[in-house]
Amino acid sequence: MSYRDLVEQRDVIVCCGTGGVGKTTTAAATAMAAAQMGRRAAVVTIDPAKRLADALGIGALTNDPTVIDGPWPGTLAALMLDTKATFDDVVRRHAADDTQVDRILDNRFYVNVSTSLSGTQDYMAVEKLAELHASGDWDLVVVDTPPTRDALAFLEAPKLLTRLLDNAIYKLVISPQRGVLRAVNRAASSVVRQLSRVVGADVVDDAIEFFQAFQGMEEGFKERADATLSLLGADATAFVLVASPRADTLSEAKYFLDRLGAADMRAAAIVVNRMLPALSVDVDRAAELRSTLADTDAAGLGVALADHAAAAAGDEDRVGELLATAPDAMLARVPLLPSDVHDVETLTQIAAILTASTGV
């Protein structure tokens, strides 16, 4: 399967990888390629920088899709994940009434959780993916996953939520039964006392109040978490691993491939950005030319040629080692550009490179 096939046929493409390897740009270029094919594509990024918005020719991105006009027959929209706004929307959609909404949104524990925890960002990225996919407004949703030290944090988020909601202590805490509350006191008083000494009694009280206010919404959250996990494991979803040819990022990429495989998932494609362009001469021939030119005015050019050839060969060797660990994934090489992506024209070039990639 080529990269073009992925863009044409899949409903969801999840771009994964460490930060700083061009993941956001790859996600945007993938969505642009889909729009060029006539599809309705939305890319959701977690990158708060305005770099992507500038490249797309718009002033800023919000938590809602912004349609970008351009020379494509389909639709291209982009949005930047606002964790708290997404969480607030989920609460408003699924709360029983306005009173429950107010109890949750005004809770201090909720305010902290919804604004400062990285795990919440992971889960809200999943929620936003589910929302966009279920809307029916988009043929393809491209997700630029949060940069995280845990390669599978994004994928683990729905499972963690389900485990929390199924936890016996959690169920006791939210139970309105007086007898059960006494059981909570007996079972959890020791834990709560110790926790209070660490984070403060007010924090513990706020947390319990939050979970009690949350009562009645658990099943809805669990159902969406289960549905999103099914979507991520379906044939309609493709994972694209983004890396650079640097040894450290390729090592992280290999770790991610191992973790993805352990979760019975596979990367459909590997995109390696900032590859040195290949030369018309190999390493040996470049070394010969360096020797030949050593005592001439072109000696510097000879050295530069040999260095470039050796560095490009090193890139290819390291990328080849990574690809050997994922033989079913197709490889797309994106060459090193003279500057960062800062306009639609450059983004279009990257989209063209990706869709022209057919494999190794």
pLDDT confidence bin for 168, thresholds 50/70/90: low
CA triple 341-28-150, angle to 5 deg: 100
Q: Is 320 helix (H, G, I), strand (E, B) or coil?
A: helix
Residue 226 has pLDDT above 60, yes or no: yes
Chain centroid to Cα 219, Å, comes to: 26
Task: Give every CB contact of residue 204 below 8 A, 6+ residues apart in sequence.
Answer: 192, 195, 196
Structure token pair of residue 268: 């459909």
With beta carbons less than 8 A apart as the criterion, state whether 274 and 300 touch: no
Centroid of chain to Cα 188: 37
> According to the model, what pLDDT value does residue 179 have?
46
Tell me: pLDDT of 119 over 90. Answer: no
Task: Give the whole-angstrom CA distance, residue 57 versus residue 132.
Answer: 23
* Mean pLDDT for the chain overall: 81
Residue pair 202/192 in contact by the 8 Å Cβ criterion: no
**Helix boundaries (H) for the chain:** 3-9, 23-36, 51-55, 83-94, 98-105, 108-116, 118-135, 153-165, 168-174, 178-199, 201-213, 218-233, 247-262, 283-292, 299-324, 344-356
The pLDDT tens digits for 22-75 are 888 899 999 999 999 999 999 998 766 666 777 777 778 888 999 998 999 999
Answer yes or no: is pLDDT of 1 > 60: yes
Residues 84, 102: contact at Cβ < 8 Å?
no
β partners of residue 41: 76, 140
With 0.85 as the threshold, say if the pTM is over it.
no
Gap between the Cα atoms of 210 and 202, Å rounded: 12
Q: What is the pLDDT of residues 231-270, one digit of tens each?
A: 888 899 999 999 998 888 888 888 888 888 887 888 999 9
Residue 138's pLDDT is 97
Within 10 Å of residue 219's Cβ, how many Cβ atoms? 10
Summarize the confidence of residues 335-353 as an average pLDDT: 84
